[in-house]
């Protein structure tokens, strides 16, 4: 009897990701029974993006740091294009979902513009006495989302319920 073992391979775009963050992604993906491939080289063009996506079944586009550049954004968009063209699922996390939105020419707005009374805050700008400013990541609260009836997400969840 021949036993065939198939491994689902998930690629993640990253550059300069903290080792602890990469280890966390690795644990989550392997706990789910898949293999994680960290794509830490930039795809300079479409051909390189295609080569990087060979053998990868799904793509994760994670959050980015303030140090990330237009080069990183272009890389992520090239990878998204190849993955979607080949019918592979793409998951955006944090800034990654904004990159996917941008890929589709969508508009990203700040939560406070639409919900000024919301107490959800992911970062807080701190200004020191010397004028230096920096963001502090907060343990933010969860907030609800609206899922459009008939959307792909709605069908994945088995329909929208109140």
- Least confident range of 9-13, 30-34, 156-160: 156-160
More confident residue, 80 or 64: 80
Residues 6+ apart with CB under 8 A from 113: none
Whether the model pTM is above 0.75: no
pLDDT of residue 148: 81
Please state, in angstroms and rounded to a whole number, the distance separating the CA atoms of residues 136 and 126. 7
d(CA 23, CA 34): 14
Longest dimension (CA), the chain: 73
pLDDT grade for 91, boundaries at 50, 70 and 90: very high
């Amino acid at each position: 009897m021949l036993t065939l073992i198939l491994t689902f391979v998930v690629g993640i775009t990253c550059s300069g990701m903290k080792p602890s963050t990469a280890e966390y992604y690795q644990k989550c993906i392997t706990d789910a029974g898949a293999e994680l491939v960290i794509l830490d080289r930039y795809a300079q063009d479409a051909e390189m993006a295609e080569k990087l996506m060979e053998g990868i079944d799904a793509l994760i586009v994670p959050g980015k740091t303030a140090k990330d550049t237009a080069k990183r954004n272009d890389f992520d968009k090239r990878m998204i294009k190849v993955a979607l063209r080949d019918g592979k699922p793409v998951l955006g996390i944090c800034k990654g979902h904004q990159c996917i939105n941008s890929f589709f020419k969508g508009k990203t707005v700040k939560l406070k513009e639409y919900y000024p009374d919301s107490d959800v805050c992911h970062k807080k700008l701190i200004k020191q006495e010397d004028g230096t400013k920096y963001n502090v990541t907060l343990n933010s609260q969860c907030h609800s989302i609206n899922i459009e009836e008939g959307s792909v997400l709605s069908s994945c969840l088995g329909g929208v319920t109140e």
